[in-house]
Structure 1
Amino acid sequence: MPELTALNTLPPHALTIPFPAHGPIDADPLASPWRQSLNGVWEFLLLPRPDHVTGAALAGGDWKPIQVPGNWTMQGFGTPHYTNVQMPFPQMPPSVPDDNPTGVYRRRFTLAPDWRGRRIVLHIAGCEGACYVYLNDQPVGFHKDSRTPAEYDVTGVVRFDAPNELIAVVLRWSDASFIEDQDHWWQSGIHRDVFLYATDTVYLADLSVRADVSDDLQEGILRVRCTLDAIGEAGEHTRVEAQLYDAHGTQMFAEPLGATYTQTHPRFGVRRFVRPELLLEGHVPSPHLWSAETPYLYTFVVTVYGPAGPERSACRVGFRSIAIRHRQLLVNGRAITIKGVNRHDHSDTTGKAVSRELMELDIQRMKQFNINAVRASHYPNDPYWLDLCDRYGLYVIDEANIEAHAFYFDLCRDARYTRAFVERVRNMIERDKNHPSIILWSLGNESGYGPNHDAAAGLARRLDPSRPLHYEGAISRWMGESWHGGRTVTDVICPMYASIEEIVAWAEQETDDPRPLILCEYSHAMGNSNGSLADYWEAFERYPALQGGFIWEWVDHGIRATDAQGRVYWAYGGDFGDVPNDANFVCDGLVWPDRTPHPALYEYKYLIQPVRVELVDPSGTMLRIVNRHDFASIDWLDGVWEVIADGVPVASGRLPELHAAPGEAQVVKLDLDAAHGAGERFLTVRFYQREATLWAPPGHEVAWQQLPLPTVAAMPEPVIAGESVVVEQRPDRITLRAGATHAVFDVRSGTLASFGRDEQNLIVRGPLLNVWRAATDNDGLKLRDEPEKPLARWKALGLHRLHHRLNHIRVVAVDNGAASVEIEHAATGRDRWGDFIHIHRYTLHADGELSVENTVIIGNAISDLPRVGVCMLLTPGLEHLEWYGRGPWDNYSDRKASALMGRWRSTVTDQYVPYIMPQEHGHKTDVRFLLLTDQDRRGLFIGGQPTFEFSALHHSDDDLFRALHTIDLTPRAEVFLNLDAAHRGLGTLSCGPDTLEQHRLMDSVYRFGYRMRAVSSDVG
């Protein structure tokens, strides 16, 4: 029965736990003597369906311990189930399966004697599933909204002379499940705090605090609505007083704000409490303003003088204004840029029960990576998360717990669900209205657009006219709506996965629509992803009407699992026998489940960093430092600079004191000789925070930028004459020798079979054409049939099983102290030997250097390849890796803005990137040379002509492609070295636009070369 959303619950409100009137103003609500936690170990019984909840079942001895908060599906009772759009069962709304797992929770508690005579409330902050509550064998009520609190007045049910017994019966599925069809795990059970609190018989039922600012930002205007209520007989008068304190505890008002309610009924002359609203107003001159960059919080304390004496409650307050004008979202009168992510509540060990410590890690990591906004996708997140956003400084889109994705066009028009739509928006707003971090209310996600949304929007605008509304479904082009529509329900154009071309076209058009464009989801971060993020940010910075967006999403939703051999991995849809499922589509975050950053997060950090550096003169001696903040100076940062020449540092220093105001710039002079250092030169400037912040210690790197400087010609290296190259030809091999260096070619396969110095051989298998990569999630999902994706096309061409046929091998030149061998292969994966022709010419020079020139000719019907290059297998032991190119993290042609040119040192082992679904990784671009050596520093040097791209791994492409989990991979001792002339960009096609044209491989002929040398020490 969708119309019945809850029974006997208290009206939603902002939670204010009372305190005695004495004590500190910033007391922790958790320490209030009028709050009693019921978190901890409960008794639990899982039954197969609701009608099995009988007296006999409850009286039995099958109860097991369970942790609350915590999903039962994460504690050995049933399993999680992952679907994206489809429902996990076949029924049509509002029907659910008869076999409906039902969890029964039981908890016994006693009450302190001094709670006697007070009003007592049971608070359940979040329960996934329809929850029926019983106390001391009495039915109390039930509720269905899994992500906002349900409260019950249990004053008349609790007892003080004996222990109380609380029972919660939770049905996994209900008619509400159809509007909680979000893209995450279906879990079950009580996943947020459960507690009791006690109030006086006259009490603060709700508190609404609006901290506005005047148009000139010079005055703070505090408007407060105190809603009172009472049980039993109240006194003749009730007095409310309030005070505001700054961050140092100083009172903002000379006298407390106050109001008195007289409880006399005007007609009958008898006392009757009628839930009055007392309005208070105060003014603060020159207030500190709240923003994500300057999250200044005041403390508002309200005291209610009730029958038992004064009691007070408190909340944090931030003065700020929000407005939309001229296609821009303004905070405190300034246009802001949303540098955001979408965030679900998720723990890999406890599911939807996210600890405070993990939430703090989330926000610290976000701030460390310059993120300034978060969308609570797709439901109100844990309330402590909003406390952190207020304190640390993040803009928030708070989103109602509504997603009807499987019945997208239906439930938004279904009158049976109107009340649920409206109440869920109300539940969110009433719970969260006092948080300054919230700048937009969202009506939900991917639920179509219909009259139910109009009703919810009408309520939202009445409850809180100070904040704009957000709802993507009303403007979704994917679903037949228009970006010009939906004005009654959304005050921003908030598409998901719109292309750069689309948003630029919208920004360039003339329109009377005042709404800005903020992408609610973009740059889908599934696996090795986030290609062309720099192109999005170029558009955001060029067009004022484009104000950024929220990357999908923050965290991979992998669940920690252990196989039979004790190996730990992160599981995804289907790993628990959950059918139907959407496989690894739930693993699409910028961080792993343990919050370790993906390489793409460094790209995002760089693109949204608060400082930009520009050359004033080409020599690099004068720089313009641009403050990209909206509100803060950059005086909290220290800067240093360094010049490298051919990757080697040649000069460095510190920047003068930084002071640029927000949006302004300052010019600084470097103590740098314009001609310092010879060779290819780059200037790198780095910015560190001077002092500790809530999210990072002193010295944390906030921003960096690298700029090319004019190249200074180096003195040519002297040519050292060597002995002439000796050529030996036998029926089975061709050998070239230059001093101690040899190159041996297998005549039958046409491959370089051995290369090294003296008796050392560095190569197990010589270079062969490679046009395949272990598919990324954007190329196509391994566990889905996606014929429209590149992976399907590449597999049809047989790129993953390429065969090589030798056309010829011959010695073609022996002169000038050098000798050359030319090899031609045809290659195909589908028995069409014209697909690829690879001509490679090896020339061994007298100094021992082996240069390789490659020509790859691609058949007429083939284009848009994953890569064009060669792959060789190197001998075990070549573990130490150095390269001069972009690094240190992975980078690709469409995701390399953050990667710096330099000489980087690592190991082959550390090139592994453990994406939950194994796939292509470890790639580096713009490489001048690389060096692979053993523990004695002997090994292989490869130089570009002039550059190449590479990866060096202990896994083959085939290993990675076949594996479905990290535990399916066993590192090999050998090194798989890919040298690429070109490598397809990453794009975001798993959910969004494909790789841009300029980052695809569309040519019919590729020519590239490189130089190999066996070495016995570091190069350079």
Structure 2
Amino acid sequence: MINVPKVWQDPSVLQLHREEPRAYYIPYSDAGSSKAGKRGRSPYYRTLNGSWKFRYHESARQVEERFYEDGADVSGWDSLLVPSCWQTNGYDQLHYTNVNYPIPCDPPFVPDENPAGLYVREFNLPDAWDGKKKYVVFEGVNSCFYLWVNGTFIGYSQGSRVPAEFDLTKALRPGTNRIAVMVLKWCDGTYIEDQDLWRYSGIFRDVYLLARDEVHVRDVFLRQELSPDFGQAVLRAELDAAGGSLPVAVELRDAEGRTVASGSAETNGQAAIELKIDAPTLWNAEQPYLYRLYVKSGTEVLSFPVGFRRIEVAAGGVFTVNGVAVKLKGVNRHDSHPELGQTIPLNHMIQDLNLMKRHNVNTIRTSHYPNDPRFLDLCDEYGFYVVDEADLECHGIGAAEHWKEGSFHTLTNHPDWREAFLDRAKRLVERDKNHPSVIIWSMGNESGYGDNHIAMQRWTRERDRSRLVHYEGAAEGYKGSTDVDSLDLESRMYASVQYMEEYGRDGNKTKPLFQCEYSHAMGNGPGDLQDYWDVIYKYPNLMGGCVWEWCDHGVLTQAADGTPFFAYGGDFGDRPNDGNFCIDGLVSPDRKPHTGLLELKQVIAPVKIEAENADEGLFRVHNLYDFAGLSGLYLTWKIESNGSLAQQGQVWELEAAPHGNQTIRLPIAGASSAERVLTFSVRAKNETSWAEAGYELAFAQFVLAADAATAGAAPTPLAAAAPSVQASLQGDLLTVTGFDFRHVFDLGQGAFVSLTKHEVEMLAAPAKFAVWRAPTDNDRNIKLKWTDEGYDRAKMKVYDVRWSQTGDSVVEIDVVFSLGGYIRYPILKGEAKWRVDGTGQVTLNVQVRVREELVFLPRFGLQLTMPAGTEEIEYRGFGPHESYIDKRRSVRKGTYLTTVDGMFEDYVRPQENGSRFGTEWAIATNAQGMGLAFSGPAPFSFNASHFSPEELTASAHSYELKKSKLTYVHLDYKMSGVGSNSCGPELLEPYRLDEKEIAFELAIKPVFKEDE
């Protein structure tokens, strides 16, 4: 093997010859190009991104001795783009694991078969760089690397997601230079980089050269103090110079480019320049006003964003920004691209931020490592509060010992790992210390809690007292150290709503409660957002939290037949793996919002509207912004009467102050016997960088009709003499015939097997009762109890069937039955009373009793299989997308015309989807309007799909689904909620179908819509 210092298994050696960490910046030659921030326009910057020669070895022991030397012939090597992850380019094993280490747990040792990637490229230096100091910066390399230039060993670094900078001055020469890098897949740092993600390797972030004056400003720390009334700010620029003494001038300009303060100093090592600013405009996520500080020395100009803000915890544990109580409405965001892995293009970052802004998100936790530094530049500009997290997680250390007491704290309590832990904090803080968007330092994730973490926290607080320090691993129940004085927050993951309520009521709490992860958004979820935010708004010491998580981490790949799909753990033969647990985001891998994101948008919306007296048109508009008034927004409103537009208007002048409210009056017409639904839409007046003018931020709906309880149902037939019916029995088949229909009931099966109108068949299979749904990802725990009790294999047992004809116009069928699966006692027993009248309408009245000791049901209702061609769906209820009892804040009441395909939500792993909560009536027909109409005295859950629950259950990926020509219609008394129990608390009791006595009534009528 190549002869290098073998330090990758020694936690006491974190680097060789690496520069000390510093703030992120690029030197420019003038203030104008510095402000533009286009790195390529700097004469002192040269990218090394591009095509490198690359060779992959399954083991570092196979590496050629002299690949890094000038004369080494690499012409036969592959070419690989830098930055990139080598696994996304066909090298090595694509591997997803969450908790468990992918290597034997033997810290600090890693496998002898340690894959290595060799990178070589040549580059030229500008003549203008003569006499300059020259550095190379690697923004991110996973997991460790060795560096050579022109055959000279430069150094070594580990710490995958923070920069490594090296001085190349002595090794470079005029003309052509050669740089060579050896990247190892594993090192001792792997043990503290055990995050929940795909395990990528390589030079995955930007690489570039910097030319610096011989004497230059090496580092800048911008500290600020604001007077108690925020009327004056003091900006202190602490300067660290390299190479000797030099004069430095600083200039602070406001957002309009006007100079508001300036100063200068002679620095020999360290110096500080203080600037005083009267009446500063403050920065916050809603109004991200940025000044810019220019640091000028020699030929260089450095530029830094300046956002004046103060982050504090006020009395009673209230989190504040600029003295104002703020709620963090956040998401957890990994670096994840469906094709590039952890290599994230700038436009992809912007796409994420635009989507977040459009969905009312104001906070990002950089789970679980520092993001690309340009991402923070964007957060400063767009306006986001950032919980900036150290690249530290050793989750697997506990799993390796089967979570034996104390095992989780092994590394954080081990003195040999102290410097490794500290290094993660230092490099995080030093790089990002000048970003106003960073309001909280996070000391990593899921790594136990002990002396090393406490050392990180104390160092961080001493270095930067302007921000808060967070680490969830110190929470009660982990049995680590009880020393939490160096933490400013009480941090939790997936604490229940009840826990938060108890914390909020506790008057002895002095720290805010922060849910760094909550409401697991995996698959069809989350279903508990409103419950969380009701209690968060209720108590001042609940500061909010971050939904887990922003995006699905699917890897775009192809099935054997060439069909593209998003892969997850295990799809590449990777072991160990955690399956689709990486598919747990609010958006798909290609950034298509899931309905969970639409739900979040509405729940955390900045404007809420309440009725003071709806029938008189009085409504109260609540401004939930912390800093912005409502003058930049307007309202549109409309009233629909039984689905038709009756009135509409606008409220252009909104004036409610932050945290304030105002009353508005609408010119609503008098009461009506028809149902009237008032819909407000809250919209932006002006275009922004992330949304067009008129973009909707929130909505609200109110039912105005006094008799709304009965309005809106499907039309009822006119009173008239009931047409006659005829009933005939042949074997077990009871045929009921009327003027234009012929229905067949199988007495042996206890179900209708045919429903027709004008001889058009409406059923393709016998009707049946159903309790099973394809488990959602959030059902992953409860489904074990469901299958144990046979819910997934429930069949109908008919005990008794009787029928009779009442007069000339009604046939009644009474079925005594049960549903149950093999092994277990029946799930439920009951009686179904079917009634056929002369119009052809079938009315079902079913009463069942569920076995007492059973866990709650997924659903209960009727499943109908309708024939090919049943594609058109019309319904009155909530839309336009799926909704459930606990996931329905983002839908609005109306009459909707869609298709069966239009009801389908395509989740990476197939599961229950597309149901419509609170449906009043629905019609499923072919393109000519021939089909079945459904209604009931009470709203029901409705779904129509080309995939049966059994097929959705059996399929691991959406591409495996085989679309049926048939349409499966579900008419449910109730459907249990979706919750977030894949990682969060159990489904809340109000959202469970746990009733033991169920009564359900439903009407089914064959229709030709165009004749109705």
State the TM-score, normalizing by the size of structure 2.
0.95
Match of 1:134 in 2: 148
Name the stretch that deviates more: 240-249 or 739-748. 739-748
Q: Deviations over 1:205-233 (max 9, x none)?
A: 00111344221112222111121111xxx
2:790 pairs with 1:798: yes
Match of 2:402 in 1: none
Q: CA deviation at 1:23?
A: 4.4
Picking from 512, 528, 531, the partner of 1:532 is 528
Name the stretch that deviates more: 381-390 or 850-859. 850-859
CA contact (8 A) 2:461 2:486 kept: no
CA contact (8 A) 1:375 1:396 kept: yes
Picking from 95, 111, 117, the partner of 2:125 is 111
Q: Deviations over 1:482-512 (max 9, x none)?
A: 9xx543232011100111111111111121x
The 3-state SS of whatever aligns with 1:638 is: strand
Q: Deviations over 1:857-906 (max 9, x none)?
A: 22344231111112110111111111111122211111112221111222
Equivalent runs, 1:360-375 vs 2, <5 Å = 360-375=350-365
Q: CA deviation at 1:650?
A: 2.4
Q: Deviations over 1:784-825 (max 9, x none)?
A: xxxxx3211111222212222332333234237222222333
The 3-state SS of whatever aligns with 1:793 is: helix
2:19 pairs with 1:10: yes
Picking from 170, 187, 202, the partner of 2:183 is 170
Equivalent runs, 1:508-587 vs 2, <5 Å = 508-511=505-508, 513-587=509-583
AA aligned to 1:488 is D
Q: Deviations over 1:574-601 (max 9, x none)?
A: 1111111111111111111011111111
CA RMSD of aligned residues (A): 1.8
Q: CA deviation at 1:618?
A: 3.7
Distance 1:486 1:1011, change over 3 A: farther
The 3-state SS of whatever aligns with 1:131 is: strand
Match of 2:43 in 1: 33
CA distance in 1, matches of 2:732, 2:613: 61
Distance 1:1018 1:527, change over 3 A: farther
Picking from 652, 664, 685, the partner of 1:690 is 685
Distance 1:532 1:1019, change over 3 A: farther
Equivalent runs, 1:332-347 vs 2, <5 Å = 332-347=322-337
CA contact (8 A) 1:863 1:1001 kept: no
AA aligned to 1:259 is A
Q: CA deviation at 1:744?
A: 1.3
Name the stretch that deviates more: 705-714 or 883-892. 705-714
CA distance in 2, matches of 1:932, 1:142: 66
CA distance in 2, matches of 1:832, 1:458: 58
2:86 pairs with 1:72: yes
Match of 1:634 in 2: 630
Equivalent runs, 1:170-569 vs 2, <5 Å = 170-230=183-243, 238-253=246-261, 256-261=262-267, 276-304=269-297, 306=298, 310-326=299-315, 327-407=317-397, 408-477=408-477, 479-480=478-479, 485-511=482-508, 513-569=509-565
Match of 1:269 in 2: none
CA distance in 2, matches of 1:56, 1:141: 16
Q: CA deviation at 1:720?
A: 3.4
CA distance in 2, matches of 1:21, 1:536: 50
Distance 1:469 1:834, change over 3 A: closer
CA distance in 2, matches of 1:282, 1:915: 54
Distance 1:1018 1:651, change over 3 A: farther
Q: CA deviation at 1:50?
A: 1.5
Q: CA deviation at 1:836?
A: 2.5
AA aligned to 2:291 is Y
CA distance in 2, matches of 1:690, 1:55: 65
Q: CA deviation at 1:722?
A: 3.9
CA distance in 2, matches of 1:666, 1:999: 34
Match of 1:599 in 2: 595
Match of 2:55 in 1: 45
Q: CA deviation at 1:646?
A: 3.5
CA distance in 2, matches of 1:697, 1:21: 34
Q: CA deviation at 1:355?
A: 0.7
Name the stretch that deviates more: 699-708 or 834-843. 834-843
Structure 1 gaps of 5+ residues are 262-273, 781-788
Q: CA deviation at 1:76?
A: 0.6
2:959 pairs with 1:967: yes
Match of 1:824 in 2: 816
Equivalent runs, 1:620-1019 vs 2, <5 Å = 620-675=616-671, 677-712=672-707, 718-780=718-780, 789-815=781-807, 817-830=809-822, 834-1017=826-1009
Q: CA deviation at 1:941?
A: 0.9
CA contact (8 A) 1:129 1:146 kept: yes
Q: CA deviation at 1:716?
A: 8.7
CA contact (8 A) 2:233 2:280 kept: yes
Match of 2:6 in 1: none
Distance 1:564 1:56, change over 3 A: farther
Name the stretch that deviates more: 804-813 or 336-345. 804-813
Match of 1:266 in 2: none
CA distance in 2, matches of 1:453, 1:68: 34
CA contact (8 A) 2:59 2:115 kept: yes
The 3-state SS of whatever aligns with 2:570 is: coil
The 3-state SS of whatever aligns with 1:527 is: coil
Alignment length, in residue pairs? 982
Name the stretch that deviates more: 429-438 or 48-57. 48-57
Query: Equivalent pairs: percent with the same residue?
Result: 35
Q: CA deviation at 1:833?
A: 6.1
Name the stretch that deviates more: 807-816 or 755-764. 807-816
CA distance in 2, matches of 1:428, 1:36: 24
Name the stretch that deviates more: 896-905 or 631-640. 896-905
AA aligned to 2:751 is T
CA contact (8 A) 1:639 1:655 kept: yes
Q: CA deviation at 1:54?
A: 1.8
Distance 1:25 1:95, change over 3 A: closer
AA aligned to 1:666 is Q
Distance 1:378 1:476, change over 3 A: farther
Distance 1:12 1:581, change over 3 A: same
Equivalent runs, 1:144-159 vs 2, <5 Å = 144-159=158-173
CA contact (8 A) 1:954 1:976 kept: yes
CA distance in 2, matches of 1:607, 1:27: 37
Name the stretch that deviates more: 616-625 or 55-64. 55-64
AA aligned to 2:489 is V
CA contact (8 A) 1:721 1:847 kept: no
CA distance in 1, matches of 2:435, 2:126: 32
Distance 1:541 1:620, change over 3 A: farther
CA contact (8 A) 1:648 1:903 kept: no
CA distance in 2, matches of 1:118, 1:277: 21
Q: CA deviation at 1:840?
A: 2.1
CA contact (8 A) 2:31 2:294 kept: no
Q: Deviations over 1:493-539 (max 9, x none)?
A: 1100111111111111121x421011010001111121221111110
The 3-state SS of whatever aligns with 1:755 is: strand
CA distance in 2, matches of 1:139, 1:996: 60
Distance 1:1009 1:323, change over 3 A: same
CA distance in 2, matches of 1:192, 1:129: 12
Name the stretch that deviates more: 822-831 or 558-567. 822-831
Distance 1:816 1:634, change over 3 A: farther
Q: Deviations over 1:535-585 (max 9, x none)?
A: 111100111111110001101111001012100111111111111111111
2:65 pairs with 1:55: yes
CA contact (8 A) 1:625 1:665 kept: yes
Picking from 608, 616, 626, the partner of 2:612 is 616
